[in-house]
Amino acid sequence: MSQDSPKVAVTSLVKSFDKLPVLRDVNLEVYAGEVVVILGPSGSGKTTLLRSLNFLEQPDSGTIRVCGHGISIARGQPLSREDKQQITQLRQKTAMVFQAFNLFPHKTALENVTEGLISVRKMEKSQAIARGRALLKQVGLAEKADSYPAKLSGGQKQRVAIARGLAMEPEVIFFDEPTSALDPELRDEVLSVMRQLAGAGMTMIVVTHELRFAREVADRVIFMEGGAIVANEKPAVFFDDGASPRIKQFLNRY
């Protein structure tokens, strides 16, 4: 795990929806090879923070730097042309895995994985197909290459979504509640793939309620409440040694 400069750096991030504060002066750094899990109650700002990192949500103010591409946002100021170029470059270095899979229903598993390679990266179709098949094999779905999403279980859909993200060779993957729509057996399929990625050194930021995953795989656990980061600890401290009464109360619910 490199400690040279952070892969993700967030400074003084603020975001409101209809004057309701959702992120309050959030500061965070994530280094190469780190797995950072974000926990917190519903409405704490976890997903908004994650979506702000690749500008699926535009913050009101603050600075975001991801994989060497930085944008400073001033309240009330539109994004400049250079800012938009930075966002495009930032997105090319990251991947997002969503709770709802977001697969193309009219495309097979293989076509979902290769779509970005062909349309965005302009890769030769034969080369993209070879890479797509290798990635489906990596997530345990080689035999489902020609299946459409409607014929896949939730866990299989999420693994296809992970393969699709990996196809673009991201430096950082953001996971937004990747297992919350799945039953326990299917959750384990997805978490197993995520463990493999962590073991291979992928930088990951994961919003989840999977406490066992956080305890066993995370390098750091972030706890958010009321739009702010109220704890940023190693798992041993977060779960065992230094948990505040509020965090203990939260953990006892799961």
pLDDT digits (tens, 9 = 90+) for 60-79: 999 999 999 999 999 888 88
Write down all domains in the chain, each with its CATH number in brackets.
1-93+170-254 (3.40.50.300), 103-169 (no CATH)
The single-letter code of the amino acid at 32 is: A
pLDDT the model gives residue 120:
86
The single-letter code of the amino acid at 80 is: S
Is the pLDDT at 242 greater than 70? The verdict is no
HSE-up (13 A, CA, CB side) for residue 112? 30
Helix (H) or strand (E) holding 204, with range, is strand 203-207
pLDDT digits (tens, 9 = 90+) for 90-131: 999 999 999 999 999 999 999 999 999 999 888 999 999 999
Q: Which of 175, 140, 141, 157 is nearest to 37 (CA)?
A: 175
Phi, psi of 220 (to 5 degrees): -145, 150
pLDDT the model gives residue 241:
65
As a whole number of angstroms, the distance between CA 208 and CA 123 comes to 34
pLDDT the model gives residue 187:
93
pLDDT the model gives residue 1:
47
CA 67 to chain centre: 14
pLDDT digits (tens, 9 = 90+) for 164-223: 999 999 999 999 999 998 998 899 999 999 999 999 999 999 999 999 999 999 999 999
Q: Please, which pLDDT band fits residue 2 given cuts at 50, 70 and 90? A: very low
Is the pLDDT at 29 greater than 70? The verdict is yes
CB-based contact 43:17 (threshold 8 Å)? no
pLDDT the model gives residue 233:
93
As a whole number of angstroms, the distance between CA 244 and CA 254 comes to 16
- 163 CB burial (10 A radius; 0-12, 13-18, 19+): buried
Beta-sheet pairing, 94-97 with 220-225: unpaired
- 50 CB burial (10 A radius; 0-12, 13-18, 19+): buried
What DSSP designation does 143 have?
Answer: G
- Average pLDDT (134-155) is 96
| Residues belonging to the chain | 254
pLDDT digits (tens, 9 = 90+) for 148-171: 999 999 999 999 999 999 999 999
Q: Please, which pLDDT band fits residue 248 given cuts at 50, 70 and 90? A: confident
Beta-sheet pairing, 94-97 with 172-176: parallel
